[in-house]
Amino acid sequence: MSVDGLATLRSAVPGKLSFLSNPRYVNQLADCKASAIILEPEFASACQSALLISSSPYVTYAKASQLFQPNRTSKSGIHPSANVHPSVVIGANVSIACNAVIDADAVIGDDCVIGAGCYIGERSRVGDNSILFANVSLYHDVVIGTNAIIHSSVVIGADGFGFAFDGRKAIKIAQLGGVTIGDNVEIGAGSTIDRGALDDTVVEDGVKIDNQVQIAHNCVIGAHTIVCGCSAIAGSTVIGKYCTIGGGVGVIGHLKIADKVMVSAMSLVSQSIHESGVYSSGTGLLESKEWKRNIVRFRQLDDMAKRLRELEKQTLGK
Amino acid sequence: MSVDGLATLRSAVPGKLSFLSNPRYVNQLADCKASAIILEPEFASACQSALLISSSPYVTYAKASQLFQPNRTSKSGIHPSANVHPSVVIGANVSIACNAVIDADAVIGDDCVIGAGCYIGERSRVGDNSILFANVSLYHDVVIGTNAIIHSSVVIGADGFGFAFDGRKAIKIAQLGGVTIGDNVEIGAGSTIDRGALDDTVVEDGVKIDNQVQIAHNCVIGAHTIVCGCSAIAGSTVIGKYCTIGGGVGVIGHLKIADKVMVSAMSLVSQSIHESGVYSSGTGLLESKEWKRNIVRFRQLDDMAKRLRELEKQTLGK
Amino acid sequence: MSVDGLATLRSAVPGKLSFLSNPRYVNQLADCKASAIILEPEFASACQSALLISSSPYVTYAKASQLFQPNRTSKSGIHPSANVHPSVVIGANVSIACNAVIDADAVIGDDCVIGAGCYIGERSRVGDNSILFANVSLYHDVVIGTNAIIHSSVVIGADGFGFAFDGRKAIKIAQLGGVTIGDNVEIGAGSTIDRGALDDTVVEDGVKIDNQVQIAHNCVIGAHTIVCGCSAIAGSTVIGKYCTIGGGVGVIGHLKIADKVMVSAMSLVSQSIHESGVYSSGTGLLESKEWKRNIVRFRQLDDMAKRLRELEKQTLGK
């Protein structure tokens, strides 16, 4: 038997491999048309298909999915329209697509793929087996580790947002640090990681960053942390390892976040978090009519609290 | 009489066409210098200019504005610096600007305009009469309908953000689906729409997406829905038809939003919405001094509610 | 004595220049290895190094930092792969990098640097001594003043988000205005500034815009205002001079914000602000367990307020 692709339990046809990772869908097993199914041993009897027994079906599905990834390297070699400075060091088996521009003294590791229209600045380095999709911009002195996946329109190494105000105008603080990104990091489309003011901005090994994330100068993102889409980390904040920053989260500057902290979507982290745990802010969604009544009261909340205290004194004598 | 442009009531000079769509500005009619004014019949008497009577002046203004749109196709034809794979199928009267790159087996419909520095991946298809402004990136297997307007730095088809955690690290789930975008869709600058994990991410006909919007893998955005700037829709969420998602809104993953739902700016939608209506979250803006007093009380809100209940028992005996 | 770079008090080694701008770090002076330190006169005695006495050490540091900025102009001249329309007017000492595209009747001032892959549309003008980093997109009729710094993936002049709804579908309002940007403006990576519907969108002198900021059509951003990362200003809003808009802030459309207003991170500004001051919204961050208890009560807030009032009547007779 061979399979030529993956599919969900519901949409699978013969020839496809499927998986059960969420027990909620166990009732879809009986009718599933997949040629084979990845599942935990306890569900094996619910199913007629060939089975791939796994103690972690979602991890097994992830590994299987990679077998079906279309080759993204297109053709190997340096396209004649690419502009590569003669001083650039290029590893073995590298593909550099049309109109990519690589400036002086950059280093591109073995097996890298540089997409169309990418720009790589002076002295920047891309580790082995990394892929930059089309129209990525790396400024100068940006170091990226091995096995990186950098999606289109990402910008790494733009100036951090630093100014000194002289009473009349903002005076630019030159951003003299760089950016250092570890191994096995993925960075989603349109994300931006600024260079440091004096020292480097750092993204450690195994960090996964979704689309349109902003990481300001001198942040440190700890190893294996996940940053979901549209989050923004302000300058000099240090985030621990194995954290999960939900989508649309804001973290203000100069904070320290412990390891294994989870922040729920669209929360504002306005102070350091010293203990692992789950954190949230916001009011939850309401129908606007009801919401308006309640936010009027939110503005009276301090007053309400004082009146409540007064009533307690009067009534309960305490 | 001829007019050579559009202007607001206040700034119009002779030779311009103006319009009254908001009755609030009716008092500007008398002094308006425009050569002609679009307005509803009831306001015709308030005005000396030539009139274009319309039951929907704003719609009439929209249609008139298109007559003054400068031609955006620049010169027709394929610029010699563009890199178009020989297998690409190109329709009639197509313009492909400098340094655009179109990969194998892509299809470009009639009357399309592909801007400078755009990248279009393998097997992707752009429908008739669509325009991609400069530096747009389409990955492979992205299908776009007719009459699309795609603004600069848009990225369509980057990998969805999917990982399986094996206890030590995140294992990438290959994103094997594509993106399907219907007819008459506009997508604002810097927006990102990820490809699906197994099935496609779908944006239906007539959807209008503003700048810097993020649409995650496997979302479905229903026909004629409006998504305002900087909103983010997390994975697998299905949004109905004719919705209006305000600016800066976050919608978490795996939700279902009914048709004709309006969500106000910067709300977090954290559960499915089953009925058409207007929804909001947040506290409203306060001067920070006052805000600080109230958020202290927000943290005591559960305690306050319990104390209130106790007082009611003591005082009212209920 | 010469110095070859800048460093923080803690990391400085001989040969570096350091600075003390925050008195909190005064205890690091004694052990600082820097060859020279910028500080206020009152701290001079705490320190063995050579001193640069300044009444504003942070401003002096900013100016010093610019001396160490690596030259960003790369080589001067127009790269042969750049596509510059013959009608473009180019000033003296301009550098135009690989694959940049400049369309008809654009004007590039003296001493400008146009990065790789940039696109500059018809009739757009870039003032003297401005730098556009790689992959910036300017549409047609965009005017940028002198000394601009525009970072990668910025898009200026895309269509404002304007539609008239005819009952069945959204009809595009052609965006016929332009964008006017003053002198000494910096715009961070991935930010987008839309063109006006009829008049121009305006960014005045000295404005500093961080990464991934969205400025919608017909906004006016007053001189010397700072807009931090990921903020979004909706259409036709007018922001005063010397404001500070924190990160992730949303400002809805058609508002007027006074001069010298500060808005804290992730606030939603939903009405005009008539007086200078500091403004905030949101609930502050809580551990999720505690947060959930409180947001349940937030939904009951109007009810709680009424019950409190009733208790006051019963108990206090008022």
Is B73's pLDDT higher than 70?
no
- What pLDDT is attached to residue B257? 98
HSE-CB of A248 using CA atoms within 13 angstroms: 33
Determine, for residues C232 and B224 on separate chains, whether the beta-carbon distance falls below 8 Å: no
Nearest CA in chain B to A205: B169
Single out the residue of B183, B216, B221 nearest to residue B203, CA to CA. Answer: B221
- What pLDDT is attached to residue A75? 64
Is A249's pLDDT higher than 80?
yes
Residues 95-134 of B with CB under 8 A from A: 99, 101, 103, 117, 119, 121-122
Question: For this structure, is B254 an active site residue?
Answer: no
Rounded mean pLDDT, A276-285: 92
Catalytic site positions of A: 217
CA distances, C234 to each of A283, B226, B229, B265 (Å) = 23, 15, 8, 10
The string of pLDDT tens digits covering residues C169-198 is: 999 999 999 999 999 999 999 999 999 999
Identity of the residue in C158, C169, C232 whose CB atom sits nearest the CB atom of B230: C232
d(CA B196, CA B120): 18
The string of pLDDT tens digits covering residues A223-246 is: 999 999 999 999 999 999 999 999
Determine, for residues B280 and A266 on separate chains, whether the beta-carbon distance falls below 8 Å: no
The string of pLDDT tens digits covering residues A49-77 is: 899 999 999 999 999 999 999 877 656 79
The string of pLDDT tens digits covering residues A119-133 is: 999 999 999 999 999
d(CA A150, CA A35): 34
Rounded mean pLDDT, B260-265: 96
More confident residue, A292 or C108: C108
Nearest CA in chain A to B191: A190
The string of pLDDT tens digits covering residues C1-14 is: 789 999 999 999 99
Instruction: Say whether residue A241 is in contact with chain B using an 8 A CB cutoff.
Output: no
- Supply the mean pLDDT for chain C: 94
**ipTM of model over 0.90:** yes
Instruction: Say whether residue A30 is in contact with chain B using an 8 A CB cutoff.
Output: no
More confident residue, C267 or A285: C267
Determine, for residues B133 and C135 on separate chains, whether the beta-carbon distance falls below 8 Å: no
Domains of chain B, by residue range, sit at 5-67, 286-318
- The 10 Å CB-count burial string (b at 16+, else e) for B256-269 is ebbebbbbbbbbbb
The string of pLDDT tens digits covering residues A121-169 is: 999 999 999 999 999 999 999 999 999 999 999 999 999 999 999 999 9
A50: helix, coil or strand?
strand
d(CA A138, CA A192): 10
Instruction: Say whether residue A255 is in contact with chain C using an 8 A CB cutoff.
Output: no
Residues 155-174 of C with CB under 8 A from B: 155, 158-159, 161-166, 168-174
- The 10 Å CB-count burial string (b at 16+, else e) for C81-117 is bbbbeeebebeeebbbbbbbbbbebbbbbebbbbbbb
Determine, for residues A99 and B101 on separate chains, whether the beta-carbon distance falls below 8 Å: yes
DSSP bridge partners of B149: B131, B186
- Tell the burial category of A10 from Cβ atoms under 10 Å away from its Cβ (0-12, 13-18, 19+): exposed
CATH of C5-67, one of 3.40.50.720, 1.20.58.220, 3.30.70.20, 3.40.1390.10: 3.40.1390.10
Selected catalytic residue, list B217, B224, B254, B274? B217
Rounded mean pLDDT, B274-289: 92
- What pLDDT is attached to residue A314? 86
Instruction: Say whether residue B190 is in contact with chain C using an 8 A CB cutoff.
Output: yes
d(CA B125, CA B129): 12
Instruction: Say whether residue A76 is in contact with chain C using an 8 A CB cutoff.
Output: no
